[in-house]
Each structure stands twice: as structure tokens, then as C-alpha cells.
Amino acid sequence: MKTPKLIMISGALLILALFLFPLWNITLEAPQYPTPLGMDIYINDFSDAHPHDIKNINLMNHYVGMQYIPETIPEFKIFPWVVGIMAALGVLIGLFANYKWYLGWFVLMSVFAIAGIYDFYLWEYDYGHNLDPKAIMKFTNPDGSIMGFQPPLFGSKDILNFKAHSYPQLGAYLMALGMALTFIAYILGKKDAKKYLFTPKSSLKKTILTLFSLALLFTSCNTGPKAIDYGIDGCHFCEMTIVDKLHAAEIVTKKGKIYKFDATECMINNLKDMDIETIDIYLSTDYNEPEALIDASQATFLISKEIPSPMGAYLSAFKHKEDAVTKQKEKGGELYTWQELLTKLKR
């Protein structure tokens, strides 16, 4: 096997180190903590740098209204698939394709890496700025605006009496090395190009477009409703933390954007600020099955003073009308279809 092929395969396999080693680390130093608090970030998990670090960070953040670091996030389900598929694709390209495909793989992996870094920045921003308005302690900037507590994306930053550090770890370095090897394989393959498994008509442009099509096909499989992280996600309308597992709601746009709400009434009230033509589906939680999101447009709704909902509309959703009728007999109230509910609440 020629050297460029071996290097290409080695580089593609090297990104699998992300399954073994942390990708990133965030460390907090402060005088009251002789041993700094730290968190390692893997492609599928958050991990303590020292025992109980994440628990202590969550307890500390609670006082200023910051969100808890969740046990899992949607990206932890997506990233392992991306890495696994890209490694397998890289090995297949190394075995059967010519050097032009090496560059295509490198470009596609670079796009995924940049997208991952941007997603990490957005998570940090939300984590540091989406604060609970009922927090015990509130801090403001000199101009009177609410102070944010976003950790740095890369480097060090002073946050109150803490110094936060954010740097890549071994997994990130090995991934970068693997990507660099695939680019080197492309350079060497270009110099040593004598035989092609594909016809000369297989241009680099077609190669890259094919790889991007595969990527788009994969990412399109991950659009749709997303589970609500109770106690962590905030309501898009009223900005309260979503904790009620019987009444939460969600909107999914045609482009896959997600809006989460602590109650169906918040979802409906938010419609005045949205172009409803962009909405793909409305979802409400089935009262009889906590955390289960159902198609709101097909649900039956009960307004009963005996069943409080988070924002005071006494509104509950039921997937099956017979369940709503049973609950009405027990608690009283009035039943509504989705369209009837929209008419009532948007008056």
C-alpha cells in the first residue's frame, strides 16, 4: 500500500481518539478553592476534573442564577455519530479513492470542527447569559446592564473573583493531528499520482460536493422535536426556567429551529411575534404522560381551575379526547380543540 494511502487511513483513524480522551477543559480558580474546580468535556459527556467538581460548580452558579450543567445535551448524541462516520468514510477513501478525495475529507472534517466550535460558543453564551431573574445574587456592569458569566472560548478570563481557563485537551490535539495527516496525504498523493481508481472526469469539485451531500443527508436526519431539559432550559416567551413536566410546550420551525416554552399558553402568546408560515409543528406535553410531547394541533385541551399550569391559564393538553373527557368529569372545566384554543387565548 502506498504511503499517501497509509497516512490518509492513519489520520482518519486518529480522530477516534475523541472517544477516549477529553476534547476540552474549563477550570475555575479562586482563593476559596485551594484545588481549582474543573470540568472535562468529551464528545459524549461532561466529566469532573476532580471528584464532585461539577456538583460544586452547579451549587456555586445557583446563587447568581446560572443554569445547571446538564448530565447530557443533544450534541452528545450527534457528535459520536459524526466522528464515527467520518472515521469510517476516511478509511474507505484511503483504501479505494484517489488523492483528490483526501482533500474533500479534510475540508468536510474542517467544516464539522468549525461548526462544533461555534456550537460550543453558543452553549457557553447561553450558559453565561440566560440567568434566572429570581437568583439570590445579582451583579450588574458599570452601565447598569446585567452581568454575564460566560467562560472564555479559548484562553483565560476574570469572572468576579474567579479566573476561568478554557483550553483544548488531548482529544482535540489528536483530532487536529489526524486532520493534518490527511492533508499531508493529499499533498503526497498529488505528487505521486499515477493511478486512479476513479475516471479522470471525477473532479475535485464533484468529490467535495458529494461529501457535503452526505453530510447534509446525515444532519437532516437529526432535525425535529428535541427533548426539554427540565430545570435547565428556559421558556422562550417568559424566560422562566422550565420545570413543570406536565405542561411544557415546543415549536419546531420548517428550518429545524426549536423554541421551548414552560406552558402551552406561553407558546400561544409567543405567536404574535412569529411568522406562523415558518412553523412546522406545535407541540404540547400530554398531561397523562409527563415529558411526552404531542402534536398540539391534534390534541384536546382542558381549562380547569382545579389543574394549575405554570402561567396561570389552567390549561392542560391531552393526546386522546377520551382522556380529556375523563379528566373533565373529575376536575370540571371546558374542553377546546387547538383552533378553539387559539381563538380564546389570542383575543
pLDDT value of residue 271: 92
**Counting beta carbons within 10 angstroms of the beta carbon of residue 81, is it exposed (0 to 12), middle (13 to 18) or buried (19 or more)?**
middle
pLDDT value of residue 202: 46
pLDDT value of residue 207: 53
Could you please report the per-residue DSSP string of 276-337?
GGGEEEEEEEBTTSTT-EEEGGG-EEEE-TTS--TTSS-EEEESSHHHHHHHHHHH--EEE-
Q: Nearest CA to 21 among 175, 167, 155, 166? A: 175
Taking the C-alpha atoms of residue 1 and residue 302, their distance in angstroms, rounded to an integer, is 69
pLDDT value of residue 198: 44
Q: For 42-78, what is each residue's pLDDT tens digit? A: 999 999 999 889 898 888 877 777 877 877 788 888 9
pLDDT value of residue 344: 87
Extract the residue ranges of the chain whose pLDDT is less than 70. Answer: 1, 193-224, 347
